[in-house]
Structure 1
Amino acid sequence: MANTPVRVCWPRDPESLNPVTLPNAYAVQINNLLYQSLLAVDGPRRSYVPWLATALPTVRREGARTFLSYRLRPEATWDNGKPVLARDVLFSLKLLNCPGLPNESQRSAFSFIQDVQLDTRDPRSFTFVCQGFTPEYVTASGDFPIMPPYLLDPDSLLRQVSLPQLTSGDSTIGLLPAVRAFAQTFNEPARWRDPRVLRGSGPYQLVSWQTGQRLTLERKPQWWADRLPNATPPLLARPRRVEFHIVPDNATASLALRRGDLDVYPNMPGPEFARLRREASGLFQFFTPASYRVVVLAINTRQSALRTAGTRQALSRLLDVDRLLKATQYGQGQRTVSLINPREKWVYQDSLPLISFSPAQAAQLLQQDGWRRTPAGWQRAGTAQPLQVRMAYAAGERTYETIALLFQQAAQQIGVPVTLQPTEPGLLSRQRRSGEFDLCLLTLYGNPFSYDLRPLLHTSSIGEGGVNHTRFGTAYSDRLLEAIVATEDSTSKARLLRKLQTLLYQESPLIPLFFEPNRLVVAKRLGSVRPSGVEPGYDIGSLQVNAAAER
């Protein structure tokens, strides 16, 4: 195993390494190298596999409650040498539910776990007590980071409050002195840059983080999983050192790759990928697995001009998706009418037609929605200002830039002014959360395991801490979302999902454009790549340096 670092290209900073926040996919990737969850996704095999747990949970149902029983691996230890125990799992769930922490999205995702029963005979065994049942509970229950109380709560403040108290919704719990003191310390920003604090049971430890430049991890000299015989992913951690280089400019990143300053470039833009494959195929390995990453146009449905479905549908006709696929994906990628990948044929609503590019039809839909074109622009009774929109997107992202420019040109054909707003990614995330946008281009990351879209679309996820940035939702859509999660029968679940896709198609709060391929480029000095369609698109722990390439 060589000491040469593996150098990965990132287009943006992870923003925060606080494990209850995880604002983007890059933060999630680092979290999965520092900490571990009970289960992990094996992307190439498209399945969940045991990680800290010895196996997937056993399931027992009693009336309206479900009991999921796990056992932790006896070899698993923290960096202080103490074993990872069931009480650490309980502590981690308390973190996800503790008032005063920036844990709103994770609190919602794991709200089905109401309590943890610790096995009095085995400190590594425990049972989750869950409300209701859905098959997704089996894997979702194991998909949160297990965190060390000895580092994050050395004074045992959260032992003074139970998990049912934290999940009860009682607003007075946040006023308890122990909870307030814990939250104050936990929320100190400096803690989440401190290598002494950012330590879990995972194979790597933080060395340094220069915001916007580089984040470096180093493999622990002694990691507990090294003692496992015949370890397989995700219990492999071959690279001794991993450097994540933040290079927002695609041309600069491509040049660094060619110079040998980078080894792994995931999600490489189409033009650069095609050029590199044509000019330097002997130096690199190229992979294009289909991904679950969909480019969408998000529409703020609370903006007065965009409140009605007819206007939102009109804007969807100004997107020439076939041309965009050629321009940004070099013909790769797949068009879609839905947030669900068309490859998932059992749930994809294939009866809906792809949206056609038609400025004329856009103008017609605006008229049907009450707009009238005047010398001053499109006017509608009850709307003070003529129709004009702002389109925000992450600055420097060539795909978004191309989409925005072509959309602006199409809108100009029918007299709708569009102001383009390339924005620094961190600021853009804050603007989406606060609702300070009209239209926003973004990429959503999915997977083939779960169809719980409540965080993205439920009305309870609107506002501070939620991720329903379009602010869309009705009583009917909420019921559909809840029924999808609660339904056990796959045929019934598929029927409900198709109803939801039809509703979203009609209401158009999110306009899906296409699923991108994961264009992954890896230097030939690295082997055992294991490309995947699930983020981050490769298994960094499996990578190993080819000895022949190093000589």
Structure 2
Amino acid sequence: MNFRYLALLLIISGMLACEADPKGNGEQMADTPRVEFKQTDNTARIAIRAEPPGLNPVLSTQSVARYVHENIFQTINDQDPETYEQVPLLASLADIGKEENGQVSYAYEIDADATWPNGLPVTAQDVIFSLKIVLNPLVASGAYRPYYAMVSSVVTSPNNEKRFKIMTKRPYMLAEQAIGSLVIYPEYAYDPDQLLRSIALTDFTNENRVAALAENSEALKTFSEQFNDPEIGHSPDKIVGSGPYQLVSWEEGVSLRLERRDNYWANDRDESWLAAEPDALVFSIISDASTIGNALRDELVDVVVDMGIDQFKEFRTEEYLQERYDFSTVNSFKYFGLLMNQNNPLLKEVKTRRALAHLVDVDAMIEQLFDGGLARRVVGPVLPGKSYYNDALEPIPYNPERAATLLSEAGWEDADGDGILDMEIDGERQPLSFQFLVFPSATSEAIGTLVSEWAAEVGVDIEVVVQDFRALYGELNKGNFAMAILGQGFDPSPDEFTQVWASTSVPPNGTNRGGFSSAEADQLIKKIAITIDPEQRDPLYRRFQEIVYENQPMIFLVSPVDRVVVSRRFEFEPNSISPNVYFNDLKQADWNKK
């Protein structure tokens, strides 16, 4: 499930407009190219850096899974990649109304042509079923559940199975966007015995009743056990959506193949978010950097997203690849930083965390690893350009002397003279020595090396440990780490911090993996969510940024540009919404067709 929200602030449009790389602008050559292309079929071969954990949307928060499943499943609405406004997908745009007792209603009508693979229409009952899934406490949808906490009920039409009205308990600034991004599941495929039909949606929206159901309802337990089965997200015959493609094969560790459905309901539509241009999409799992290079040169892949910075810089200057691929960059909706685990005894003190921040020379890091305008520095969880960005917060400067002073004030000293600081914790002398988890990429590993060297200057011992994506996120979700490199992705919208920063959102209830906890921040998060007027909300945002800045839960590093590489045999338009290109809208050039 991808929460793509409306950008209310027009300034974002300028900030995040597509910026074409000098070596490629995302526009396919009009004339027949000078080189021969090995591939002439209408299959788009896409390289992904990790294997999806599964293709059950509400059970996965990893972007690599969304890259695949958003071609199979569809949401109520989508976002225009240029304006970031809501656009109709499965249903019309919301007709929003004020109701009694402070409630707000969002009325929709599902597209008359929208059908499931078996020919049945997509109906309001499927919407209700999908809401029950997200709100089910026995389903591991905790990362998404907070966005639907405002739902109270759904009103359906007795005369039109495609009309429905979602009622909310109270105003919520992202209600329209959250509802619009709800993935719709076919009830007939995921609950053939209609187990959830016996439980009213209002039972799921009532905290006390749903807690009792989780304890006592055999129907709920049976459904949840079946829905949580990993096979549901891996077996082609069990993965069913209304989208243009269906999974036909999954060779573990190698590739996933999706093929266009002959009876796709929107085959004649032109909108990018509804298109079905390629006959097939093949997602090749290639984590090794050298293998990516070989695959490009052999034309075994047509598209590479999330390419490593180092590779992108190298490949975009290679003439052979320039002739065959378009190298584009667009500003991103993400940032990277060094997450610190506040539940780790070594890092529980804010002075220790701030000292570590003073030991990271972010400007030098950008100059060495992200030169050529491939990243900009960030100081917190809000990107520059938004109206509520707190520009009074200065970047933490690289200052080993200040770091040493803070560490001393926190109680660290080299008592045994071994060159590593130590301190008594829980009755035992503990060295300031820990592991730093990084991803298997040249840039990530280089960051690890730099941080380790800088920290060693003042007696902090950091061991860099390389882990693949799945293993690293597994450790983060279990809290088995001290420091880890971490990226946070979001959408072009007013920020809603519940999932990442609320104290109640530790995994599996969210992605607050570092254990950040602040009573004031929790109150601000709640107030921001229900404050509709931007002028009243912006000061709350700024105060929240101050709290995060003072707490130093993460050493904020950079917001990199997104990098996308696409074969010149396809026409495409890059955009700032990850993965930066609609795979389903890759149009094979006429000259490439055989």
The TM-score normalised by the length of structure 1 is 0.95
> Are 1:525 and 2:565 counterparts?
no
Asked whether the equivalents of residues 15 and 23 of structure 1 are also in contact (C-alpha less than 8 Å), the reply is no
Q: Does 2:277 align with 1:233?
A: no
Deviation of 1:536 after TM superposition, in Å, equals 1.1
Correspondence for 1:86: 124
* Partners of 2:96 and 2:104 within 8 A in 1: no
Change (3 A) 1:262 1:194: same
Alignment CA distance shift 1:436-1:57 (3 Å): farther
Distance 1:488 1:464 in 2: 29
* Residue equivalent to 2:89: 51
Moved more, 76-85 or 166-175: 166-175
Residue 178 (structure 1) aligned with residue 219 (structure 2): yes
2:256 to 193, 197, 215: 215
The CA deviation at 1:400 is: 1.5
The 5 Å alignment of 1:333-352 reads 333-344=375-386, 346-352=387-393
Pick aligned residue for 1:386 from 431, 452, 462: 431
Q: CA separation in 2, counterparts of 1:223 and 1:69? A: 25
Contact 1:297 1:513 in 2 (8 A): yes
| Residue 150 of structure 2 is aligned to residue 107 of structure 1 | no
The 2-side partners of 1:549 and 1:432 are apart by: 45
C-alpha separation between the residues in 2 aligned to 1:368 and 1:247?
Answer: 47
Whether 1:129 and 2:171 are equivalent positions in the alignment is: no
CA-CA distance at 1:364 after TM superposition: 1.6
Distance (Å, rounded) in 2 between the aligned partners of 1:219 and 1:261:
20
User: TM-score scaled by structure 2?
Assistant: 0.89
Gaps of 5+ in 1: none
In structure 1, the residue matched to 2:581 is 538
The 8 Å contact of residues 44 and 278 in structure 2, kept in 1 or not, is answered as yes
Give matches, 1:451-466, under 5 Å: 451-466=495-510
Q: Is the 8 A contact 1:99 1:179 kept in 2?
A: no
Equivalent residue for 1:510?
554
3-state DSSP of counterpart to 2:414: strand
Give 1:212 deviation, angstroms. Answer: 2.3
Are 2:311 and 1:267 equivalent residues in the alignment? Answer: no
The number of residues matched between the two structures is 546
Distance of aligned partners of 1:28 and 1:496 in 2 relative to their CA distance in 1, 3 Å threshold: same
Q: Note the alpha carbon deviations across 1:215-267, whole angstroms, 9 max, x for none.
A: 11111012101244xx3121111011011111111222022112211111122
Alignment CA distance shift 1:41-1:29 (3 Å): farther
Aligned-pair distance for 1:506?
A: 1.0
2:91–2:111 Cα contact (<8 Å) kept: yes
Distance 2:52 2:123 in 1: 29
Match of 2:410 among 364, 369, 372: 369
**How far did residue 275 of structure 1 move?**
2.0
* Structure 2: runs of 5+ lacking an equivalent: 1-39
In 2 relative to 1, CA 210–42 (structure 1 residues): closer, same or farther, beyond 3 Å? farther
Return the offset for 1:3.
4.2
Which segment is superposed worse, 457-466 or 295-304?
A: 457-466
Q: CA offsets, 1:112-164, max 9 Å, x none?
A: 11221112232111111112113311111111210001111111110000112
Query: CA–CA distance in 1 between the matches of 2:405 and 2:81?
Result: 45
1:395-410 matched pairs, under 5 angstroms: 396-410=440-454
SS state of the match for residue 379, structure 2? Answer: coil
Aligned counterpart, 1:436: 480
1:76-101, Cα deviation, whole Å (9 max, x unpaired) = 00111111111110000111122322
Offset at 1:463? 4.2
On the 8 A contact 2:86/2:93 being kept in 1, the answer is no
Residue 544 of structure 1, CA deviation: 0.8
Q: Is the 8 A contact 1:338 1:348 kept in 2?
A: no
Find 2:462's aligned residue among 418, 424, 443.
Answer: 418
2:28 aligns with none
Query: What secondary structure, in the 3-state scheme, does the structure 1 residue paired with 2:421 have?
Result: strand
Within 2, Cα distance between the matches of 1:400 and 1:56? 42
Is contact 2:140–2:508 with CA below 8 Å preserved after alignment? no
> How far is 1:185 from its partner?
1.9
Q: How does 1:200-211 map to 2 (within 5 A)?
A: 200-211=241-252
**Quick one: distance in 2 between partners of 1:8 and 1:211?**
16
- Give secondary structure in 2 for the equivalent of 1:444: strand
* In structure 1, C-alpha distance between the alignment counterparts of 2:167 and 2:409, rounded to whole Å: 51
Cα separation, 1, equivalents of 2:494 and 2:578: 14
Alignment of 1:492-511 (within 5 A): 492-511=536-555
Alignment partners' CA distance in 1, 2:88 and 2:380:
31
8 A contact 1:271–1:330 mirrored in 2:
no
CA–CA distance in 2 between the matches of 1:157 and 1:312?
A: 49
CA RMSD of aligned residues (A): 1.8
